[in-house]
């Protein structure tokens, strides 16, 4: 199956889910399709810190992974967003050590956070872009254009949520339902959804 290379366009605070961010990927080479992925705040921070070449006072989890891999001569050659099931993106790391290539399953947000640290390419497949991609009429040229592009994508996401009747936000659900969904997500190893539910539960407990 042919791979399509992506690049990181930007991060914006999600209007459709409390405490989350929209990570926007785009086809490399000036194409107009964008692939927005909702990720948690911690992962968004990990990606943003590396993109801005900032150095945290103590290593983040993804920095620790990179240091560990460097010490043992393990490289990440590429990451692939290889599937999309019920709104959840699936990714894998293609790693290499002494000529041996190993594929490692991972959350997409963690894969991107590692990709920016290993400076490796990000790929996906056409069927994913066809089903979840957003086509923009105008492509950014300046920082102001980028802000407008991210706003447009957020509006598209919010509109899609309303049109399909799906609720990406957990803010209207009672705590009992959130706890049930959290348990179900953990049992099904859907840790990305579990993380999002936990963010909402923590927000309520803090109030």
Chain CA centroid to CA 28, Å: 17
Q: Are 51 and 153 in contact (CB under 8 A)?
A: no
In this prediction the pTM is 0.70
pLDDT digits (tens, 9 = 90+) for 66-76: 999 999 999 99
**Whole-number Å distance between alpha carbons of 100 and 46:** 28
Q: Domain boundaries in the chain?
A: 4-162, 170-206
pLDDT digits (tens, 9 = 90+) for 47-60: 999 988 888 888 88
Tens digit of each residue's pLDDT, the chain (207 residues): 789 999 999 888 776 666 788 899 999 887 778 999 989 888 998 999 998 888 888 888 999 999 999 999 999 999 999 999 878 899 999 999 999 999 999 999 999 999 999 999 999 999 999 988 888 765 555 445 555 666 666 666 655 544 433 444 567 677 877 888 788 777 766 776 777 788 888 878 876
**Whole-number Å distance between alpha carbons of 90 and 81:** 6
CATH of domain 4-162: 3.10.690.10
């Amino acid at each position: 199956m042919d791979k399509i290379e992506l690049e990181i366009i930007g991060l914006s605070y999600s209007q459709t889910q409390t405490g989350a961010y929209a990570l926007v990927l785009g086809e490399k080479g000036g194409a107009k399709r964008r692939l927005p992925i909702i990720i948690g705040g911690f992962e968004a921070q990990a990606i943003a810190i590396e993109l801005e070449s900032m150095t945290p006072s103590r290593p983040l989890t993804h920095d620790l992974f990179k240091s560990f891999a460097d010490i043992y001569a393990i490289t990440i050659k590429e990451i692939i967003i290889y599937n999309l099931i019920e709104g959840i993106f699936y990714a894998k790391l293609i790693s290499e050590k002494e000529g041996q290539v190993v594929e490692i399953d991972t959350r997409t947000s963690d894969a991107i956070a590692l990709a920016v640290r290993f400076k490796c390419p990000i790929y996906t497949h056409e069927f994913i872009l066809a089903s979840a991609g957003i086509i923009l009429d105008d492509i950014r040229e300046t920082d102001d254009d980028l802000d407008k592009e991210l706003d447009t994508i957020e509006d598209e996401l919010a509109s899609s949520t309303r049109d399909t009747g799906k609720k990406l936000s957990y803010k209207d659900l009672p705590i009992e339902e959130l706890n049930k969904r959290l348990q179900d997500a953990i049992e099904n190893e859907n840790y990305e959804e579990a993380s999002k539910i936990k963010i909402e539960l923590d927000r309520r407990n803090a109030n």
